[in-house]
Amino acid sequence: MAVMFEYRAAHSAAEAVSLLREHGTDAKIIAGGQSLMPLINLGLAQPSLLIDINSAAELDFITRRNGSLAIGALTRHHTVERSGEVRQYIPLLAEALPLIGDPQVRNRGTIGGSLAHADPVGEIPTVASCLGAIMVVQGPNGKREIPASEFFVTYLTTALDAEELLTEVIFPILPANTGVCFKELVRRQGDFAIVAAAAAVQLGADGACTAARLALAGVMPTPLNADAAASMLVGQKPTAQIIEQAAQAACVGIDPESDVIASADYRRAMAPVFARRALTEAFERAARA
């Protein structure tokens, strides 16, 4: 079956946006192609126009700015994985990145593509949700910023308008004494996660928790920000018991799905286990920091 569409290479964000405006919902951006091409090959995606942003070099950058690290949408997974700045300033992202797919996928896939694709078990969306990252998007009327809590709407759906391009993601740099941890359940390294948990915590001089963030994946149609449950740790010494309570609280009301890889019941049972493990290890790292 031949799928027919047109192809245009955009050399800048502005060019991509003007093509999007011209062609609206019939057009689709192609970045790394690692999620879109399988759909095209299967005939499941049939856009009338593919706008290729791979030559928009201005979207490929990692730069430190006002207490945060901004990463251009076209930056490849592999580039992020190898970046010394990412390792130093956003260690949670550095820990999660090598868990994505395999070398071929990471060589081509982009951070912006992962966020725009919004797979609810994607490592990058989960880290973005945990850290409260901000998406910068550009449309016909200029730029706007969307926090992760509003960006992920539901399964494979974001707050991006049809005419908008994601240009960068801004991660806040957490204090150096923060302990972070990313844990995921997979049958084989590189598979999509069955469930995953991302945690970032801080300890005061007295050993009590001063801040805690938690996000879970594989339990809802978007990454689940569980900061409310994690906040019960604040002011407490992080004992095994209270960590367990926070992990259980994070999973109240989760509604995972069954698929060929795992049942909803299995996900429901594993989610608090991975929340606990991520929190526990994050506290251990914070204590050493």
Partner 1 sequence: MIERATTRLHVETQINGENTDYLCGPEQSLLEVLRDVLGLTGTKEGCNDGNCGACSVLMGSRLVNACLVLGAEAEGQEIRTIEGLAGPDGLHPLQQAFLETAALQCGICTPGFLIAAEALLDRESEPSEERIRFWLAGNLCRCTGYDKIVRAVQLAAERLRQAGQLREMEVPT
Ligand X SMILES: Cc1cc2nc3c(=O)[nH]c(=O)nc-3n(C[C@H](O)[C@H](O)[C@H](O)COP(=O)(O)OP(=O)(O)OC[C@H]3O[C@@H](n4cnc5c(N)ncnc54)[C@H](O)[C@@H]3O)c2cc1C
What number of chain residues touch partner 1 (CB under 8 A)? Answer: 30
259 touches partner 1 by CB under 8 A: no
- In three-state secondary structure terms, 27 is strand
Task: Indicate the residue among 112 and 179 with the shorter CB distance to ligand X.
Answer: 112
Q: What is the torsion angle, in degrees rounded to the nearest 10, for the CA atoms of residue 109, residue 110, residue 114 and residue 116?
A: -130
* DSSP symbols for 162-231: TT-EEEEEEEEPPPTT-EEEEEEE-SSTTSPPSEEEEEEEEE-TTS-EEEEEEEEESSSSSPEE-HHHHG
- Reference 49, options 2, 11, 12, 16; nearest CA is 16
Q: How far is the CB of 72 from ligand X (least distance, A)?
A: 9
* Integer Cα distance of 7 and 284 in angstroms: 50
Q: Which residues pair with 27 in a beta bridge?
A: 49
Please give the residue ranges that form the binding site for ligand X (CB under 6 A). Answer: 28-36, 38, 73, 100-101, 105, 109-110, 112-114, 116-117, 119, 122-123, 160, 165-166, 192
* Integer Cα distance of 82 and 110 in angstroms: 14
Q: Which entry of partner 1, ligand X, none binds 212, CB below 5 to 8 A by partner kind?
A: none
260 touches partner 1 by CB under 8 A: no
Q: How far is the CB of 170 from ligand X (least distance, A)?
A: 14
Interface residues for partner 1 in 86-115 (CB under 8 A)? 101-105, 107-108
Say if residue 288 is exposed, middle or buried (CB neighbours under 10 Å; 0-12, 13-18, 19+).
exposed
34 touches partner 1 by CB under 8 A: yes
Task: Indicate the residue among 78 and 183 with the shorter CB distance to partner 1.
Answer: 78
Task: Indicate the residue among 165 and 170 with the shorter CB distance to partner 1.
Answer: 165
Select from 14, 24, 48, 289 the one that contacts partner 1 (CB under 8 A).
48
Q: Which entry of ligand X, partner 1, none binds 122, CB below 5 to 8 A by partner kind?
A: ligand X
186 touches partner 1 by CB under 8 A: no
- Please tell me what DSSP assigns to residue 46: -
Task: Indicate the residue among 30 and 226 with the shorter CB distance to ligand X.
Answer: 30
Say if residue 277 is exposed, middle or buried (CB neighbours under 10 Å; 0-12, 13-18, 19+).
middle
Q: Which residues bind partner 1 (CB under 8 A)?
A: 2-7, 9, 26, 30, 33-34, 37-38, 40-42, 48, 50, 52, 54, 78, 101-105, 107-108, 189-190
